[in-house]
Amino acid sequence: MAILAILLFVSIFLLILYGFPVAFTLGGISTIYALLFLDTADFTMLPSRVMGTMTNYVLLAVPLFVYMGIMLEKSGLAESLLETMAMLFGKMKGGLAISVVVVGALLAASTGIVGATVITMGLISLPTMLNRGYKPELATGTIAASGTLGQVIPPSVVLVLLGDMLGVTVGDLFKAALVPGVLLVVCYIIYIAIYAQRNPEAAPSIPEEEIAAFKSEGFLRKLVQAFLLPFVLIVAVLGSILTGSATPTEAAAIGAMGATLLTITQGKFSIKVLNEVMRETTHLTTMVFIILLGATTFTFVFRELGGDTYLINLIEESNLSPNVFLLLVMIVVFIAGFFIDFIEIIFIIVPVVAPVFEVYEMDLIWIGILLALNLQTSFLSPPFGFSLFYLKGVAPPEITTGHLYRGIIPFVIIQVVFLLLVILFPWLVFMI
């Protein structure tokens, strides 16, 4: 029976790589295996598992955070933030690139949706950076890397899903991710500052007269409008979670309402915008939950066939140390990220390896942060990094795939080194 569980896992993985829809492959193949190889009495337990997933209160945060992110995208927040930040850092070499990183971090803390952030930043900042003489590789690498910060900086949909799959509290994951997320932003900024100092022609500063003109025209009002409202929203959402005054789901509801109010104050709200946001939210949420139902079926069948017990026994017999097993999982997740989306990795691989981590008595909060950082890295890695495809889709014609690949390599190296640091120094995750 255990061999059937491994065969189930391999067949699903191969079919997904071949291009079959993830949700229906997960649920459909798992159901076929259940009908063929499980007792009828065992199979009747599946509906209760499905209903348990669908009535999970924590998962209600997913559509609310998605709504919050899409609504903020429509608000024009990114554009005003980038314009203001660029002028604040404009005198520095590489100041515009640093402002993109900072805005990427703020958007990550406001939205948590990678695709929307990368596309928005690409549309707004890439033409500006190129027009100001930035090297295409630096411009594209900075935007792609900054756009993926939403994978690890809370409130992150990735962390919500990982919390559910690992069986840990989402609020604890949010707390644990805060310091690593901020430190990663600092690493990006340090790299850009050093690169700009060594290659000033690749990252020129903004002319002083342009900065002076911007500051002379209601600079304080622009500063308050660009930073105060988003900052209040971030504090309201993350602060309520970190202080324990609200659950992630309740904080997500606060964020959704706050994003709507912010869009109204920016003068960008309309019934048309609301319809677009609700339609996109429904589309993304439906996709996530259909995959989640398939994943619930897969996890149930895999465990009923004895797959988790077989893996645990196999690893114990092979005398793998916990650290070696962790390294193997990190490598598998990293490689899988070249080919399949983070949602699929979370729902296929994490349920399989989580019981093994429990047997090894490894801290699942720490494991969750490592997986989030790893998934973020896979979003950037050539040749199949999803953020690269998002950016390529909105980049000017003169930006080639080669520019994207060369530009992202330094940031991937930073990511991998940072991931290793968090593995070697777990206390980075528990500083809050």
Angle value at C-alpha 28, between 22 and 31, nearest 5 degrees: 140
Identify the domain containing residue 40 by its residue range.
Answer: 2-430
Classify residue 394 by burial, with Cβ atoms within 10 Å: 0-12, 13-18, 19+.
Answer: middle
Return phi, psi of residue 266, to 5°: -80, -5
The per-residue pLDDT for 262 is 84
Exposed e or buried b per residue across 206-227, where buried means at least 16 C-beta atoms within 10 angstroms of its C-beta:
beeeebeebeeeeeeebeebbb
Asked if residues 334 and 374 have their Cβ atoms less than 8 Å apart, the reply is: yes
3-class DSSP state of 10: helix
Would you give the DSSP letter of residue 235? I
Structural domain count, the chain: 1
**pLDDT per 10-residue tile (average), the chain, 432 residues:** 80 78 81 83 74 76 82 76 75 84 79 68 81 88 87 82 87 89 93 90 80 71 74 81 81 88 85 90 82 81 80 75 88 78 78 86 92 85 71 82 88 92 88 70
Residue type, 352: V
